[in-house]
Amino acid sequence: MKVLWVVVVLAGAWAQQVPPQSAPARRNDSTKKTPESGKLMAVAGAAQQVAIAESAIRNARLNGDADTLAKFLAPGFIATMPTGEVLERGTYLDGIKRAARLYYKIELSEMQVHRFGPYLYVVTAREDVAGKPTANDKDAGNDFSRSFRYTRIWQKQAAGWQAVAYQASEINGK
């Protein structure tokens, strides 16, 4: 598990340094030889880039890092929360900035990345979270542990892959 975590962290750091591709994204990963060296070079496909961005969002939320999170949210981002509340990008980020909730864990599983074109992907996943609302949250005081299923829509923007919409529903009885 630690090795996988290191790979994901390194891949996330690498993905943030790679300039956006101008060619349409491929559906699957590919490996190609570079003419100069003849060595094999792995090329991360768009689906992998989106999965790496999902991991970066998870890490930003876990660490309360609104600045990093903002890089992955499109200017028109809309989030529909499990409560039914609809939040625009600024309101969503404000909740992170004021540390309304401190997360002890955010675990993603059952993630699927669905391609709907070269510039549009939809991610579905399960998220198990635990933490504590702070004094800045309406539910302050009680630790929580909940499970959710969510859908996040990703679109290729000039700044790279950015989420344009998010919707989560709580799973009762885990």
Residues 25-65: pLDDT tens digits? 333 333 333 333 333 323 459 999 999 999 999 999 999 89
Domain boundaries, the chain: 2-170
pLDDT interval class at 174 (50, 70, 90): low
Residues 132-153: pLDDT tens digits? 876 655 656 677 889 999 999 9
Residue 156 and residue 144 in contact, taking contact as beta carbons nearer than 8 Å:
no
**Residue-level pLDDT at 44:** 58
**Residue-level pLDDT at 3:** 35
Give the SS3 label for residue 137: coil
**Residue-level pLDDT at 143:** 79
pLDDT interval class at 7 (50, 70, 90): very low
Q: Which two tokens stand for residue 4?
A: 């996988």
**Residue-level pLDDT at 24:** 35
Distance of alpha carbon 162 from alpha carbon 122, whole angstroms: 11
**Residue-level pLDDT at 95:** 85
Paired residues of 124 in beta bridges: 112, 151
Class for the domain spanning 2-170: alpha beta
**Residue-level pLDDT at 172:** 81
**Residue-level pLDDT at 173:** 62
Look at the pTM and tell me if it is higher than 0.75. Answer: no
144-157 vs 120-133, strand pairing mode: antiparallel
Distance of alpha carbon 5 from alpha carbon 11, whole angstroms: 10
Three-state SS for 47-90 is: HHHHHHHHHHHHHHHHCCCHHHHHHCEEEEEEEECCCCCEEEHH
Residues 58-107: pLDDT tens digits? 999 999 899 999 999 999 999 999 999 999 999 999 988 877 668 889 99
**Residue-level pLDDT at 15:** 38
Residue 118 and residue 45 in contact, taking contact as beta carbons nearer than 8 Å:
no
Separation of CA 161 from chain center? 10
Residues 118-133: pLDDT tens digits? 999 999 999 999 988 7
CA-based Rg of the chain, rounded to a whole angstrom?
A: 17
